[in-house]
Amino acid sequence: MEQLIDIHEMEIEDVFKALKSSSEGLYEEEIKKRFLSFGPNEIREKRRTPLYIKFLKQFFNFFAILLWIAGGLAFLGEYLSPKEGNLNLGIAIIGVIFINAIFTFYQEYKAEQAAEALKRMLAPEAKVIRGKKELLIPARAVVVGDIMLLSEGDRVPADGRLIEQYELKVNNAPLTGESIPQTRSTEPEKEGLIEAKNIVFSGTTVVSGSGRALVFATGMGTEFGKIAGLTQEIKEEKSPLQKEIAHFIRVISIIAVLLGIVFFFTGWVIVRDFTANFIFAIGIIIANVPEGLLPTVTLTLSIASQRMAKRNALIKSLNSVETLGSTTVICTDKTGTLTQNEMTVTKIFVNNQEMEVTGSGYKPAGVLRYNNKEVSEEEIRAIEPFLKTAFLCNDSELTVKEGKHEIIGDPTDGALLVLSKKVMDTQKVFGKEERIFELPFTSERKMMTTIYNGETTVAYVKGAPESVLSLSRRIRINGSENPLSEDERKRLERVAETFEKDALRTIALAYREVPLKESFTAEEIEQDFVFLGFAGMIDPPRTEVQEAVTKCKRAGIKIILITGDNKLTAEAIARDAGVIGGNPVILEGSDLNKMDRGELKEVLKNQEIIFARTAPKHKMDIVMALKEMGEVVAVTGDGVNDAPALKEADIGIAMGAGTDVAKEASDIILIDDNFKSIVDAVMEGRTVFDNIKKFVTYILTSNIPEIVPFIIFVLFSVPLPLTVIQILAIDLGTDMVPAIALGTEPPEVDVMERPPRPRKERMLNIPTLLRSYGFIGPVEAAAGILGYWVVLMEGGWVRGMDLLPSDPLYIKATTMCLAAIIICQIANGFQCRSMRNSVFKIGFFKNKHIFLGIATEILLILAFAYILFFQNFLGTGPLELKHWLLFVPFAIFIFVAEEIRKGLIRWLRRRKPQTKASVL
């Protein structure tokens, strides 16, 4: 049975025939057949890589392969020259490979499991009629031909053709992006399927009313499923961080291998034996490769993701943390992200005057203001009929859930209900009347009427301004009912137009007394109204969004608003939120349809842009064009219509209250749907790259003092000052915890004052290399070689004397070299906390983890020197106090010199603008 393309054009009887169903619903045997034929009603996920494959991949990346080779060479060295420490070296290298693999896999697995847990929490159910019985079944069990029962608050489980409806309104925002509730009908239509009012779509929600629909598409056959399928076809690209880490490892590895080869042949030229040269080459390679890099990067990303979780951003992929920090453009939607997703009355026209309503959202707190003054109690009594109508002509309910006010029912009704509760004790003042009849809203009448009986019988009316005004004959002003002249009616129409130009959804309120009867009709009741006034409402911007937008602009990030709403509403919200300030370019989906890619790119060069009335394809086109322009694009979305763009973007950000498809396509899920959380996450992302750069600088610095001993060993025929296993003790021991501590460094004060990191900016750049290899590294190498030489001289060694690896003098000398590097790295660790600012400016004690890292470093070097297990494994021995004190001046020099360097850079940067100004 194929999906019927023209099902919305059919009469209800023909729909039942086409789908081979009936008003009694399907029976068990037919249900089984259809379930086997169509499969479960769920979105089929792209086939995932099995966990064991993901784990095995960690052992065969470029970095791992390099370490496998190094480990193999170490074992070969042990075979060629036994008992020289190569066996321990080989075991240590294999351990590094497993540590890297386990860390990376575990963190990715944890992130994936968090997303899966969120998905399981959202497992839906469906009400259906089967064999004349109403049943509650899992939504995945719904089949074509089922009759769905829909009521207020339900999520529609499958695409269906309405066969009954009672004032049914649905929110199609997950599919179309249009947030205003849509009325439904059962009549055949000639419009397209998406626009048809007799169709309900999977993933959308019922706002009010009830109905029954015959399922004609399930799972991947629904409109929801088709877009999900498109999303799965989009190929995933590597994140900027993945590319950068790969580039960094490749460069460092090539340098390491080339140096190993060069010095192997250097030793060969100066006639050293093969085994010594071989060990030397392995040492050079090991010294240059930062073995602790990957676990440190993974841990840093994991720590950042946990910090972002506290800021309401759930990270699905660790690498997306830094990508967000590289973002140059944020394409955001409006409802719930920039706005509160709580329709609020902000302005009323009543008693012949306009008043401002303070307080936003569903919390009933606020006041009325007129001419910037709070309205008096006497003036409130004068507008009591207006507030009474807002309260009584209403089907919504205000509830409090976990301390948050929520509306059950239509958002427009909710806004009017909250308005009345803000100003009056509604239960006390209006709770004495009893509702006896209701004429629900219809799209033909464009109004709703409720009839209450108290001291008198009164009909309370709300609806579209043109509909209510056309049936009003009088107007209430200052407690008196005056005739409504034609001029006055036109003036009121102009007031309504003014509200609407301010992007306010405008509702007119009226009332009239009616005779008490058992039943009423619209024809006899809805006439001769007494007009009361207008209520203008909007979904207001979140209170914190302006500050967040300002931060984005200062950080050089462009914000583009893409929404399914109309131009007026989009512009008003964007202006209130601070997204636009001048004269923006505002285009609708129809304008985009006429543009080619080149024209779209020209439009996107503008600084302030709004796209209104957009379709899913438009959002996708915008993202692709921005990426082609070299931008790093973040996209927000919550509906299935957003999924392709979320997947295509460099960073997809789904809303916590959004659809499963959007969450599946995204990299980050915002738990609170708040734009501020995006900006906070951008700050964390930038901090991640800064911190990775800090610990990369830190671990690269020790490469020079690790390499220099091997150069001296070859060129000057002296015993090797630092063994390969001792190098690993630095890279995977003493350097690890301080490096991880640098990864936890909080954001620097100017992190959101800088433009985004250019795509071409490298982690391994000239300033980084100069600092590590040209300044701090040589100082540490000098300290290490001096310490080594002092011990040898004290022990009476002379050049040409051979020292065995087990000789106490050699053990003490190499321990001195090892200790010198570690002590100097303590000063380097403090200074790596910021590449630009003094450690005193950023707060010397602000990052407590760095002190834990330094303490670990000190404890480890003491353990290496004095604990027997480490002495045997590393070939180390005890040192005297005078030997420890020898390195302190070097550490102080590094610390002071770095403070001077940073101060000089800041001074030059301050002078640079002045120099330009003087030239001009």
Residues assigned a catalytic role: 333
| Residue among 342, 382, 389 nearest 366 (CA) | 342
Q: Are the C-beta atoms of residues 610 and 571 closer than 8 Å to each other?
A: yes
The per-residue b/e assignment along 126-165, b for 16 or more CB within 10 angstroms, e otherwise, is: bbbbbeeeeeebebbbbbbbbbbbbebebbbbbbbbbbbb
Q: How many CB atoms lie within 10 A of CB 419?
A: 25
Q: Is 172 helix (H, G, I), strand (E, B) or coil?
A: coil
- What does the alpha-carbon distance between residue 80 and residue 750 come to, in Å, rounded to a whole number? 55
- The Cα-based distances of 507 to 412, 447, 606, 792 in angstroms read 9, 9, 36, 93
Backbone angles phi, psi at 739, to 5 degrees: -65, -45
Half-sphere exposure of 345 (CA within 13 A, CB side): 33
| Structure token digits, residue 810 | 């050699």
Residue 370: exposure state from Cβ atoms within 10 A (0-12, 13-18, ≥19): middle
- What does the alpha-carbon distance between residue 571 and residue 583 come to, in Å, rounded to a whole number? 10
Q: Provide long-range contacts, Cβ within 8 A and 24+ apart, for 710-714.
A: 710/263, 710/280, 710/283, 710/284, 710/287, 711/263, 712/785, 713/280, 714/263, 714/266, 714/267, 714/270, 714/272, 714/280
Q: Is 553 helix (H, G, I), strand (E, B) or coil?
A: helix
Q: Are the C-beta atoms of residues 364 and 667 closer than 8 Å to each other?
A: no
- What does the alpha-carbon distance between residue 368 and residue 356 come to, in Å, rounded to a whole number? 6
Cα 521–Cα 526–Cα 527 angle in degrees, nearest 5 = 130
Secondary structure (DSSP) of 70-96: HHHHHHHHHHHSTTSSHHHHHHHHHHH
- What does the alpha-carbon distance between residue 460 and residue 509 come to, in Å, rounded to a whole number? 8
Residue type, 269: V
Residue identified by tokens 């919200």 is 573
Beta carbons within 8 Å of 312's beta carbon, 6+ residues apart: 656, 670, 671, 672, 674, 677
| Residue among 833, 13, 14 nearest 4 (CA) | 14
- What does the alpha-carbon distance between residue 751 and residue 499 come to, in Å, rounded to a whole number? 41
Cα-to-chain-centroid distance, residue 913: 37
Residue type, 514: V
What DSSP state is assigned to residue 633?
A: E
Half-sphere exposure of 680 (CA within 13 A, CB side): 21
- What does the alpha-carbon distance between residue 771 and residue 835 come to, in Å, rounded to a whole number? 10
- What does the alpha-carbon distance between residue 532 and residue 530 come to, in Å, rounded to a whole number? 6
What DSSP state is assigned to residue 153?
A: T
| Structure token digits, residue 751 | 């992190």
Q: How many CB atoms lie within 10 A of CB 746?
A: 15
Alpha-carbon Rg of the chain, whole angstroms?
Answer: 36
- The Cα-based distances of 762 to 488, 607, 690, 746, 759 in angstroms read 69, 27, 12, 22, 8
Cα-to-chain-centroid distance, residue 219: 27
